[in-house]
């Protein structure tokens, strides 16, 4: 009798968990389906390779796409080395020191700061004080600050999963701390670190608010010709189209959303592919 | 100076420990250990859990000090040279004093081959030529060559537990140490894998000085020439293994080996 009761509770709990998975997925599927239907009319090669126009049916998204790709590559170049370096310091060198504790509290707080605040910081620091102007570099630097706490926290988690026994094995073989980190700790933690990197860059590519504050343009008819060039990005372009009164631009916005989603998925797929290759080579 | 000191001692010992005290934070775990470890012999250290036997061998290769809050006092000499002297680099010391741990810990990111050569790679001292010879020699010494010679590229962690432990022994041997410290190397292995490692110790002690910490009195009796019995951070008795197991002088040693406690 009690057995059956236990099983019933077990079953109910399982169903609740299943619902927790399915309900959000249904909403998401509905959303994506709706966007795809809206975008159907505009999804063409011309749209992807075209430049913005005042006439909705001729407007394309190329400058925003190139801007976003440039932005995200620069963000990765800036945020990943710094973030992983900081995680290595905190986890491998600075453990138990007062300085590390102080830094840790600050990082946890920074992770909760709204992104528009980072935008204001970027405007003050990179655009004005450092004189980078409203450039791709200033935007990427701002996004880097934004995702840095996530990169640091997830890299620390990954480093923490490396068993202490492996570090001891290195020391017992006569390696220095740096040699142990480079040859054993980092390679072992790499898949975890990359997962964190994927998550943080996915967040960065969808960010709009800080880029608006930093001064991304909304109507760009040229491609950025360097990291100091003015730029726009996919979320900004979408935001711009959505806020226009003409109904045709809404279709463009839907198509833009599809491009953004596909870009993000492709980047994630690339990162996961790289991670799996690294894992296979090293596992 | 080193020669003069050896002259004072009766026998030239590989390791000489004098009044070694060790702490974890405020807790003192070794209370003045004096022990001479002769070259090319196998010394077993036995005693109940928490008696300081692992801490003692971790003092020999300066691994003890890596634990936060841990410290040591006293003198440990390797071939007459104080290993805690300011001029001694612990990194260099550990290349002369290899260590095998309780649980097999091959590097998961490396193949069998890379694991064996890891000590050379880690320390950046990779002679391009002769790597294959080093690899084969270390694996033969660790009695693993025949089992893995066709799968050197496989991940180290794909081997069985006993093979992994012999891989770790090969890894320690590849950097060409004088001394091999073994911290309960068989405690995670089945009896067959244990027997293989014990056979190995018999062969290895011809070329290396071996210090093995073990929970198993049978193992100490089987593999060692001399046995030291530790209890609560003190060295109670140290003698030829035969003597320890047949006619111990101290009643506590007798109680322990006859299974009255521990």
DSSP 8-state code for residue A122: H
Q: Angle formed by the axes of helices B131-141 and B161-174, to 10°?
A: 130
Mutate to test the interface with B, among A172, A194, A275, A283 (most CBs of B within 10 A): A172
Q: What distance in Å separates the CA atoms of residue B53 and residue A179, rounded to the nearest whole number?
A: 29
CB contacts < 8 A, A to B, total: 77
Highest mean pLDDT among A51-60, A159-168, B117-126: A159-168
**Which residue in A94, A95, A159, A173 has the most chain B C-beta atoms within 10 A of its own C-beta, making it the best mutation to test that interface?**
A173
A174–B92 CB contact, under 8 Å: yes
Whole-number pLDDT of residue B3:
41
Residue with the larger pLDDT of the pair A1 and A263: A263
pLDDT at B8: 43
**SS3 state of residue B217:** helix
Report chain B's mean pLDDT, rounded to a whole number. 90
- B159 contact A CB<8A: no
Model confidence over B206-244: pLDDT tens digits? 999 999 999 889 999 999 999 999 999 999 999 999 999
Which is more confidently placed, B35 or A49? B35
pLDDT tens readout for residues A166-197:
999 999 999 999 999 998 999 999 888 988 89
Mean pLDDT of A141-152: 93
CB proximity B171 to A under 8 Å: yes
B207 touching A, CB under 8 A? no
Query: Which ranges of chain A does DSSP label H, i.e. alpha helix?
Result: 2-39, 45-49, 62-88, 98-110, 115-122, 136-160, 164-172, 177-180, 186-206, 209-214, 234-242, 247-282
Reported as a pLDDT band with limits 50, 70 and 90, residue B177 is: very high
Confidence check: pLDDT of B2 > 90: no
Q: Is the pLDDT of residue B6 over 50?
A: no
**Crossing angle (nearest 10°) for helices A247-282 and A186-206:** 180
Give the position of tokens 């795809």.
A36
Quick one: pLDDT at residue B1?
Answer: 38
Select the highest-mean-pLDDT range: A51-65, B2-16, B103-117.
B103-117
pLDDT at B12 over 80: no
- Under 8 Å between Cβ of B132 and B120: no
Residue A11 pLDDT > 50, yes or no? yes
Angstrom distances, CA of residue A119 to CA of A140, A145, A262: 11, 10, 26
| Chain A residues in contact with chain B using a Cβ-Cβ cutoff of 8 Å | 95-96, 163, 165-166, 168-176, 179-180, 183-184, 187-188, 190, 282-283
Nearest Cβ partner for A175 among B98, B108, B123: B123
Q: Residue B66 is nearest to which of A171, A175, A184, comparing CB atoms? A: A171
What's the whole-number mean pLDDT along residues A99-124? Answer: 88
* Residue A30 reports pLDDT greater than 50: yes
| Cross-chain Cβ contact A183/B61 below 8 Å | no
Q: Per-residue pLDDT for A3 more than 60?
A: no
Closest Cα in chain A, distance from residue B35 (Å): 22
With a cut of 50, say whether residue A204 has pLDDT above it.
yes
| List of chain B residues whose C-beta atoms are within 8 Å of the C-beta of residue A176 | 91, 123
Does pLDDT of A281 surpass 80?
A: no
Picking from A97-101, B2-6, B95-99, which range would have the lowest pLDDT averaged per residue? B2-6
Mutation to test the B interface, candidates A94, A96, A174, A179, most B Cβ within 10 Å: A174
CA distance B259 to chain A (A): 31
Distance from CA of A186 to the nearest CA of B (A): 10
Given this model, what pLDDT does residue A283 score? 44
> Is 80 exceeded by the pLDDT of residue B9?
no
Asked whether A188 and B109 are in contact (CB, 8 A), the reply is yes
pLDDT of residue B56: 96
The pLDDT, as a whole number, for residue B204 is 92
Measured between beta carbons, which residues in chain B are less than 8 angstroms from residue A96? Answer: 68
> B79 vs chain A: nearest CA distance in angstroms?
18
Neighbours of B50 (CB within 10 A): 13
The pLDDT assigned to A272 comes to 84
- Say whether pLDDT at A205 is over 70: yes
Q: Which of A71-75, A222-226, A247-251, B124-128 has the lowest mean pLDDT?
A: B124-128
For residue range B93-147, list pLDDT tens digits in order: 999 999 999 999 999 989 999 999 999 888 776 666 788 999 999 999 999 999 9
State residue B189 phi and psi, 5-degree precision. Answer: -115, 160
- Which residues are paired to B13 by β-bridges? B38
User: Torsions phi, psi of B4, nearest 5?
Assistant: -60, -40
What are B51-91's pLDDT values in tens digits? 999 999 999 999 999 888 899 999 999 999 999 998 899 99
Residue B120 distance to chain A (closest CA, Å) = 9
Domain ranges across chain B: 2-257
- Cα–Cα dist B257/B177, whole Å: 32
For residue A250, what pLDDT is reported? 87
Mean pLDDT of the residues in chain A: 87
Q: Which fold has domain B2-257?
A: Rossmann fold (3.40.50)
Q: How far is B25 from chain A (nearest CA, A)?
A: 14
Give pLDDT, residue A109.
87
> B6 with B12: CB under 8 angstroms?
yes
Nearest CA in chain A to B111: A282
pLDDT of residue A229: 83
Residue A221 pLDDT > 80: no
């Amino acid at each position: 009798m009690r057995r059956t009761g236990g099983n019933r509770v077990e079953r109910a709990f399982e169903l609740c968990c299943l619902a927790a998975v399915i309900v959000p997925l249904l909403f998401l599927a509905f959303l994506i389906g709706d966007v795809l239907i809206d975008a159907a009319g505009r999804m063409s090669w011309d749209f992807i390779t075209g430049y913005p126009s005042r006439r909705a049916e001729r407007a394309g998204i190329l400058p925003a796409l190139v801007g976003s790709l440039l932005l995200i590559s620069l963000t990765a170049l800036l945020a990943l080395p710094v973030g992983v370096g900081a995680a290595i310091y905190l986890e491998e060198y600075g453990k138990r020191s007062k300085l590390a504790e102080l830094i840790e509290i600050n990082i946890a707080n920074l992770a909760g700061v709204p992104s528009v605040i980072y935008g204001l910081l970027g405007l003050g620091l990179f655009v004005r004080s450092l004189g980078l102007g409203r450039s791709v570099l200033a935007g990427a630097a701002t996004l880097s600050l934004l995702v840095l706490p996530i990169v640091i926290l997830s890299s620390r988690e990954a480093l923490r999963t490396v068993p202490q026994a492996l570090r001891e094995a290195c020391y017992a073989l006569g390696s220095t701390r740096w040699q142990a980190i480079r040859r054993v700790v980092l390679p072992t933690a790499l898949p975890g670190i990359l997962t964190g990197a994927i998550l943080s860059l996915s967040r960065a590519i969808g960010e709009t608010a800080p880029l608006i504050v930093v001064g991304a343009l909304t109507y760009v008819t040229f491609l950025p010709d360097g990291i100091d060039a003015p730029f726009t990005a996919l979320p900004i372009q979408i935001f711009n189209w959505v806020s226009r009164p003409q109904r045709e631009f809404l279709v463009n916005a839907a198509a833009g959303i599809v491009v953004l989603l596909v870009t993000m998925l492709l980047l994630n797929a690339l990162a996961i592919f790289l991670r799996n290759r690294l894992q296979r080579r090293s596992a | 100076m080193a020669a003069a000191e050896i002259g004072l001692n009766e026998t030239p010992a590989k390791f000489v420990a004098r009044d070694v005290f060790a702490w974890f934070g405020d807790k003192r775990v070794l209370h003045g250990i004096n022990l001479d470890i002769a070259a090319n012999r196998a010394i077993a250290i036995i005693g109940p859990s928490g008696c300081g036997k692992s801490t003692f061998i971790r003092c020999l290769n300066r691994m003890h000090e890596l634990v936060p809050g841990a410290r040591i006092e006293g003198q440990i000499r390797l071939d007459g040279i104080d290993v805690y002297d300011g001029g001694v680099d612990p990194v260099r010391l550990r290349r002369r004093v290899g260590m095998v741990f309780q649980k097999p810990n091959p590097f998961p990111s490396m193949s069998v081959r890379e694991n064996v050569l890891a000590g050379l790679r880690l320390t950046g001292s990779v002679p391009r030529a002769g790597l294959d010879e080093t690899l084969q020699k270390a694996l033969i010494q660790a009695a693993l060559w025949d089992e893995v010679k066709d799968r050197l590229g496989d991940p180290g962690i794909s081997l069985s537990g006993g093979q992994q432990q012999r891989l770790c022994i090969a890894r320690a041997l590849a950097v060409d140490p004088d001394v091999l410290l073994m911290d309960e190397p068989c405690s995670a292995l089945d009896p067959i894998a244990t027997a293989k490692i014990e056979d190995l110790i018999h062969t290895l002690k011809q070329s290396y000085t071996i210090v093995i910490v073990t929970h198993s009195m049978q193992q100490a009796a089987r593999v060692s020439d001399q046995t030291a019995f530790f209890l609560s951070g003190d060295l109670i008795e140290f003698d030829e293994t035969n003597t320890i197991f047949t006619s111990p002088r101290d009643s506590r040693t007798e109680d322990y080996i006859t299974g009255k406690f521990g």
